[in-house]
């Protein structure tokens, strides 16, 4: 199964909160957490993590979501957020 930021009238429905989770971890641990560290710890290629952080609608599989949830010790709902349709959208 794959989760993607499917579009409806140009609005991405699923957004990854990777940047926010990295910032939270850095704040709690009082240090910089580089993307390369996350990549090494999870086995996820750095380019994939960069795509998740910077490209709305990145097509990311559940295996990667599982690895990130284990790393951040979070639930998928903390990593992904569903954006509601804009009012008036079909």
Per the structure, the count of domains in the chain is 1
Residue 67 resides in a domain? yes
Residue 17 token pair: 């909160």
Is the model's pLDDT at 88 over the cut of 70?
no
Residue 13 resides in a domain? no
**Angle of helix 35-42 versus helix 62-72 axis, rounded to 10:** 110
Residue 70 resides in a domain? yes
Is the model's pLDDT at 27 over the cut of 50?
yes
Residue 47 resides in a domain? yes
Residue 38 resides in a domain? yes
- Where residue 1 falls among pLDDT bands split at 50, 70, 90? very low
The residue among 21, 16, 43 whose CA lies nearest residue 33 is 21
Distance, in Å, from the CA atom of 21 to the CA atom of 78, rounded to the nearest integer, reads 8
Is the model's pLDDT at 63 over the cut of 50?
yes
Residue 49 resides in a domain? yes
Residue 85 resides in a domain? no
Range of the domain at 61: 34-80
């Amino acid at each position: 199964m794959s989760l993607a930021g499917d579009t409806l009238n140009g609005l991405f429905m699923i957004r990854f909160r990777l940047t926010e989770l990295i910032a939270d971890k850095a704040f709690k641990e009082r240090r910089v957490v580089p993307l390369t560290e996350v990549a090494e710890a999870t086995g996820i290629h750095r380019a994939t993590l960069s795509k998740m952080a910077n490209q709305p609608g990145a097509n990311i599989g559940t295996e990667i979501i599982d690895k990130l949830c284990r790393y951040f010790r979070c639930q998928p709902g903390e990593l992904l957020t569903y954006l509601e349709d804009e009012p008036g959208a079909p």
